[in-house]
Chain A
Amino acid sequence: MAEHRRGDLRDITHEMLSKGRELAEKNGASLTALLLGHDIKGFASKLTDQANEVWVVDDLRLKNFNAEAYQRILSSLITEYKPLLTLIGHTAFGVDLAPRLAIELGIPLTTDCLDIDFEGGVLSVIRQMYGGKVNAEALLKEAESYIVTIRPAAFEAKEGEPLGGEIVDVASSLKEDVKNKKFIEYVEPSVGDVDVTAAEIIIAIGRGIKDKDNITLVQELADALGGVLACSRPIVDKEWLPKDRQVGTSGKTVKPKLYIAMGISGAFQHVAGMKSSDLVFVVNKDAKAPFFSVADYGVINDMFKIVPALKNKIYEIKTIT
């Protein structure tokens, strides 16, 4: 299922098509991109190189994502064509849609997958548990059809030989209006005083900060380094820092030259927002914090010992020069 929002195809669409193509080739299947929306021919022509067929369901009522409307169309198509596998993004849209679709159809579903494969007709997946501290290999109950939601950025959107897929118009099966769930509007994120996406140096804090009063300590370090202070989700949930400082899937995506994470465990949602940073330091007293696996340099120590030491060092250098 292709995902798009406000006139743009989302990255997850290309990532799923890339993995879908690999699976289709391996299993002698064909790959179909399914586009639901209104006035979406432009998207369709962008996807023809990445799929064997691009199915387009155009209906004014599909203009904005609506899980109820999407479910009706997907369930009638899956019932009629019985695909081996339906891939949906593990995104705000996919999370709203996939479970209920699966239960309506009685098709096994698993979510937030990092990898998928078929083992003798049975679907095998890899997903994470315990905030990314553990990977799990799981098998789905044997069935003729499966649904899987895919973690964003789990697969690279590879450019292969153009498939030259045909665009197929599919009639909308929405007979009546969607009554139970109605999209009203989008609410834009608030704009703050600091733009973390423009920063070259970011010092980020997480749960390890423990108390709101401790933030000043790290702010001083950020100031000394000429950087800005950012954070992971729990800090914003507690309203210790404004939402525009949050790095991650539901916050900002940053690409600084230097990213220093202090007391952040490194849940996937946070890491997804800073993966493209040039140089990453992770300071955490938990040696098993998943964040270390994406760090260039790791320090297994208490941030409250490292932060003052760093600050002193920088002051020393500045006084000399």
Chain B
Amino acid sequence: MNIIVCVKHVPETAEADIKIDSEEKSIELSGLVFDINEWDNYALEEAVLLKEKHGGTVTAITVGSEDSESTLRKCLARGSDKAIRLTDKRFEESDSYAIAKILHSVIKNLPFDLILTGVQADDVGYAMVGPILAGLLGIPHATMVKKIELSDGASKVNRELEGGLEEVVELKLPALFSIQTGINEPRYVSIMGIRKAMQKEIKVLSLGDLELNKNDVGVAGSWIKIEKIYVPPAEKQTEYIEGSPEEVATKIIEIIKSRGLI
């Protein structure tokens, strides 16, 4: 069982104070902590679990800058056997479509039975790369996967639908699954794992190594171009309660009481 996991190196923004840069096309990235995309973290763990059960190899692959090396090291430390970094200035501003083309140009020449991606990326959240890549490769896919069972040449997966409902779908292998969070419990990196990972080689490729030209990637090879970003307008007139925790608590209780809820 050869498994390829596509990962992305993203800034952690859930609890960070983010600022829009002066050109209003991006946020200020300096000062932010980068890590593996949360969905990809579950995808990587699932790949390693499947390898442990069925044997084979796991290859982690990313499109990103030199900095994304740390995310690949993490993948290697957590059980990935190989890692490939696709880095080129001309890949910048690629949208999901262009990223999928870049990944495709490499993956099509690799042996694989299964490709795992996260459902979406923390930063841009299109949820497109996985199914587009499957389309380019001409292999079956399932998105939002919460459970995988593999048998000879076939797979059975649970897809997460709305309201807690799931659907079970059968697909032929090779296939691509986009993985939903919560499918497993990602392991912590062991010291041994980190040591071993430091010795593994990360293969680095750029545009010249791929069967693509510069019009296939970056803005020219993309469908989507960001024109402007801004802080979303508030939907409600929010009243902010200030003061010490005691003062805040007193005010909250007053409001709740006035509504007859206590």
Residues of A within 8 A of B (CB): 5, 64-65, 67-68, 90-93, 95-96, 98-100, 102-104, 108-112, 124, 128-141, 179-190, 200-201, 207-208, 225, 233-234, 236-239, 243-244, 246, 249-253, 257-258, 265, 278-282, 286-288, 290, 292-301, 305-306, 308-310, 312-314, 317
Is residue B208 contacting chain A, with contact meaning CB distance below 8 A?
Answer: no
Q: Are B235 and A182 in contact (CB under 8 A)?
A: no
Residues of B within 8 A of A (CB): 13-15, 17-18, 20, 27, 96-97, 100, 119, 122-128, 130-132, 134-136, 140-144, 156, 158-172, 181-182, 185, 222-236, 238-242, 245-246, 248-250, 252-253, 255-256, 259, 261-262
Per a CB cutoff under 8 Å, which of B20, B185, B236 touches A294?
Answer: B236
Residues of A within 8 A of B246 (CB): 309, 313
Q: Are B158 and A187 in contact (CB under 8 A)?
A: yes
- In the complex, A143 Cα to B227 Cα: how many Å? 18
Residues of A within 8 A of B122 (CB): 130-131
Residues of B within 8 A of A310 (CB): 249, 252-253
Q: Who on chain A is nearest to B225 by CB?
A: A139
Residues of B within 8 A of A184 (CB): 156, 167-170
Q: Are B261 and A258 in contact (CB under 8 A)?
A: yes
Known interface pairs A98-B131, A112-B126; 6 further A-B residue pairs with C-beta atoms within 8 A, sorted by A's residue number: A65-B167, A95-B131, A102-B223, A130-B122, A185-B168, A296-B239
Q: Are A301 and B248 in contact (CB under 8 A)?
A: yes
- In the complex, A110 Cα to B156 Cα: how many Å? 29
In the A-B complex, list the 9 residue pairs whose CB atoms are closest, starting with the nearest.
A189-B164, A237-B182, A309-B249, A108-B223, A309-B245, A180-B140, A99-B131, A103-B135, A293-B234
- In the complex, A235 Cα to B174 Cα: how many Å? 33
Q: Least Cβ distance of A274 to chain B in Å?
A: 13
Q: Least Cβ distance of A189 to chain B in Å?
A: 3
